[in-house]
Amino acid sequence: VGALAQVRLGLHSPESIEEAYRGELKGFADFFPKYRQHLADRSQVDFDEQIYLAIEVMLRNPRVRLAAEQRSEVLLVDEFQDLNPAHMLLLRLLAGPSLSIFAVGDDDQTIYGFSGATPEWLVAFENHVPEAVHHALEVNYRCPAPVVTSAFNLLSRNRVRVHKVIRSGPENVVDSTSLTIAKVSDQVQYTTDRVRLLIEGGAKPREIAVLSRDRKSTRLNSSH
């Protein structure tokens, strides 16, 4: 599945992807066109095929491309940092020569790098959309001030990012206890104990959110 995404969203050749997997996907280059034909024979598309197929149609049929351009006067694109090469190509085809693209995103939140997403789309936006201008949204109204400060200190070390200063909103919580950093040997047990303590203190379960880097660290089952 990942290899299919790398071809269709990352715009790599099936041969290069098969080679990159170093023997783990033998025959993938032959499988790729068969997979697409399997979908076509059944009049089906998966998510990535929608993008890939739309690009093919517009590149091969100038009339379809012109009709799409005429219907796309201005394109407003959210989560721009998560776009991959296929998305960018599709946008440029839809926008046409005017490249009227309004992009909204956060270069510090790119999470789809495996399929070609990169914060560079935002960092160098004017290279892709000439004469574009940047407008930084620098006020965080959502998080407690200590969280905003800590996050900004961490993210400022990212090598590829838009230069900006993130600050808290005027009504954000400023209590220093709103952020606690704990170094523990058993993250699951610590989190479980913390959740239990909050509930015993009167918090409702729906008021508690547990975020984790991966699923392996979220084994908060009924036994806890």
- Residues 206, 208, 212: CA angle, nearest 5 degrees: 125
Q: Give, in order, the Cα–Cα distances in Å from 22 to each of 7, 30, 79.
A: 16, 16, 33
pLDDT in single tens digits along all 224 residues of the chain: 999 999 999 999 999 999 999 999 999 999 999 999 999 999 999 999 999 999 999 999 999 999 999 999 899 999 999 999 999 999 999 999 989 999 999 988 888 887 788 888 888 898 888 888 888 889 999 999 999 999 999 998 888 888 888 999 999 999 998 998 889 999 889 999 999 999 999 999 999 998 887 766 655 544 44
